[in-house]
Amino acid sequence: MPRILGLSGSLRAASYNAGLLRAAMELAPEGCPVLPGSIHEVPLFSADAEAAEGLPVAVKTLQAQLAEADGVLMVTPEYNGGIPGVFKNAIDWMSRGEGGKAFKGKPVAIIGASPGGFGTILSQTHWLPVLRALGAHPWFGAKLMVSRAGKSFDAEGTLTDGAVREQLRAYLAGFAASLG
């Protein structure tokens, strides 16, 4: 049974992207669960801290989840036209030591939600050189960028838009099918 590691690049509990990940967990195809990882406890990267203390527990947990997953679903916000620093920081930590090997050849799908009119197209595009550097395989089978997200989510960050839910269901089905 293929398993997908789901990562939200937002730390805010009621964020659109945390809500999009929760919806993905709910709408995942039978037999291919989306299992959430958390970047909340990942500290700012410091090679000095790594040399002195080793990898933080939160990073080791994410690395283990990555190694066990057949694919990764990155749910990315877009901040100032690019990728969120906190999300990039977590991915950088995850690539340290043996973790970098777990990205090699790993299928990665990228989705996101934004209050803006273009969704997360710039953020999703900015992730591509990072994924290339990691040796991951971006999945290009479909696109999902939720624009004007305030109309699709409630105040708690729950995806309420039926059309977007169906788009997400179809997106996940396509990604799951690509995992075999």
Interval 99-119: pLDDT, tens = 889 999 999 999 999 999 999
For the stretch 150-170, pLDDT in tens is: 999 999 999 999 999 999 999
- pLDDT score for 180: 82
Q: How far apart are CA 124 and CA 115, in angstroms?
A: 15
CATH of the domain at 98: 3.40.50.360
* Torsion sign (Cα): 155, 157, 159, 164: positive
- pLDDT score for 13: 87
Q: How far apart are CA 89 and CA 43, in angstroms?
A: 8
- pLDDT score for 112: 98
CB 124 within 8 A of CB 76: yes
Structure tokens at 172: 């996940």
Of 13, 11, 180, 175, the residue nearest 90 (C-alpha): 11
The range of the structural domain enclosing residue 42 comes to 4-179
- pLDDT score for 178: 97
CB 168 within 8 A of CB 146: no
- Number of folded domains that form the chain: 1
Point out the residues of the chain with pLDDT beneath 70: none
pTM beyond cutoff 0.85: yes
HSE-CB for 97 with a 13 A CA cutoff: 15
The total number of residues shown for the chain amounts to 180
